[in-house]
Structure 1
């Protein structure tokens, strides 16, 4: 009897600890990717600040998770409408809704929420409606901007070459460490989008390898755990370049090159993929090895935009009347 009493008491204490735990912190910590942790925390903070006017404290989170199902759905739908009224893109609205749904599902699994948000529908999104970018000749103008006699010029030139030659995402570039680079075999280990913690090897061009060598030799950095690309500003010198910093560098170089179109690292990725399709006469399977799109249909959108079949048919119709 005494053993049963002790067991019951321990169970009650365990349940009390679970009830009072910081579910939001545990939920975010359960995510593998640092970027995912940051985005979920930011999106959920916006939800609670918008709906309650308060930070997502353990008490506020618990109150939300213990709402009546219909009240919770009504609350999230109201938040969704607010996001739409803010003029946010469909993908951004869906990401924030996904964060809320994931939190609720997590709480449901551990017995801290009795409902789900399965009835909350996402906004319809057509991916990559605009895959336009710049031509190789225009990108050459960007490559000519960095002064390669300076440390910053060497860094920016290597950064541009890597973005173009390998169609990398800025997050993939930001996360690179020196140990991820094998100069002899011309290979680079990257943490690709949606790959979890598993890195994948990609081949690097001779031109990019040379640019990286010049940059790293000028830095005189030998620590393999050091970032490949670092800040050179006085306020953050030596720190890993953030995705925001990479965006700003690319935008500034584009302006210096006389490019009036707003250019970003992802726009360079679009440009590289489109140029690769052009160079291979639309061989989407070969180009998929470069872009690493999991869905081949995404590349078909690039190819359709490149060929502009709709424009051709429009011209044909115009000639008929």
Structure 2
């Protein structure tokens, strides 16, 4: 029996008493629960929970119970690294994207880190290398004419015969205004409350990516502020602690609109508007950032204020993909011969 097989066998049989535990059995810590409790973003919590679950299902074909997780954390350094490298190899064989593999490894590294902090783990996975990301990604989105067709369609829905359909149209139009006019992410919209919106000042408080849960104020263009105001008026909600955007279907009426629901809304509207490219809220964000670069002749500093990317090199990637300088230079060289 190989060392790896032995490790897996021990993990499978670990549901009674974890090896080497310094905690009494009745007070064994739920390390996964503690890890997720420290993550502010609901999206991060869901992703880490899913990634940790995937690891244990792939390696030992079991749910990550408290005791099974502890048994994993009680392994020796060489055993744990070998186990995770084997898992990484399986992910590579599935031809998963580098970003997905790196996120799953990050979840396991975070799990062992909190395990070390509370004294139930004596090893680290930090030396396990990340997969190299492909540096190029399509950030161009679609042009403003295509986006305009989506807005026209959303405006038509606002004139629907039934109240519920009109309400959905008014809401979706306001959502599109935020996705386009402020290049917001769907999670930033979903997490906002009515109290975060100030029509008089034309501002909205959002919890931006990497903000640590701190709200930041963004200025809204007039059309966006008016669209949100029309949605709130049509909805008839005035409780300031209520979600800014809610579902209007029968099954979920009044509940906070999820990021997935915003994704579905964008996808359906763009398909109906005849856009062949697969669209999402983030694709509209891409489109807005690219359009802003076009309109400002590539003013990266100004556009960074819109995109709120911490690293200006990210904005430069948008600019490079937009301008396609490589094609221009290649044609110049071609004309020389």
Contact 1:19 1:112 in 2 (8 A): no
What is the aligned partner in structure 1 of residue 295 from structure 2? 279
Change (3 A) 1:18 1:313: farther
> Which deviates the most, 296-305 or 86-95?
86-95
Tell me the equivalent position of 1:9.
none
Deviation, 1:295, is 0.2
SS in 1 for 2:58: helix
Match of 1:55 among 48, 63, 66: 63
The CA deviation string for residues 300-321 of structure 1, in whole angstroms up to 9 with x for no partner, is 1111111101111221233234
1:68-112 Cα offsets, whole Å, 9 max, x none, are: 211111111111122222222111111110000011011112221
Note the alpha carbon deviations across 1:247-270, whole angstroms, 9 max, x for none: 110010001111111111101101
* Residue 148 (str. 1) matches residue 158 (str. 2): yes
Contact 1:176 1:190 in 2 (8 A): yes
- Of the three residues 34, 45, 58, the one matched with 2:53 is 45
- Does 1:215 find its partner at 2:231? yes
SS at match of 1:51: helix
Per-residue CA deviation, residues 17-49 of structure 1 (Å, 9 max, x unaligned), is 697221221222122333322221121111111
Q: Could you say what secondary structure the match of 2:298 adopts? A: coil
Q: Which residue of 1 aligns with 2:6?
A: none
Equivalent in 38, 44, 59 of residue 30 of structure 1:
38
Matched, 1:123 2:127: no
Partner Cα separation in structure 2 for residue 16 and residue 295 of structure 1: 47
* TM-score scaled by length of structure 1: 0.92
CA distance change for structure 1 residues 128 and 143 in 2, over 3 Å: closer, same or farther? Answer: farther
Aligned counterparts of 1:202 and 1:171: Cα–Cα separation in 2: 15
TM-score (norm 2): 0.88
| CA-CA distance at 1:171 after TM superposition | 0.7
The 1:67–1:19 alpha-carbon spacing in structure 2 relative to 1, beyond 3 Å, is farther
SS in 2 for 1:194: coil
User: Which runs of 5 or more structure 2 residues have no equivalent in the other structure?
Assistant: 1-21, 160-165
Deviation for aligned residue 1:148:
1.5
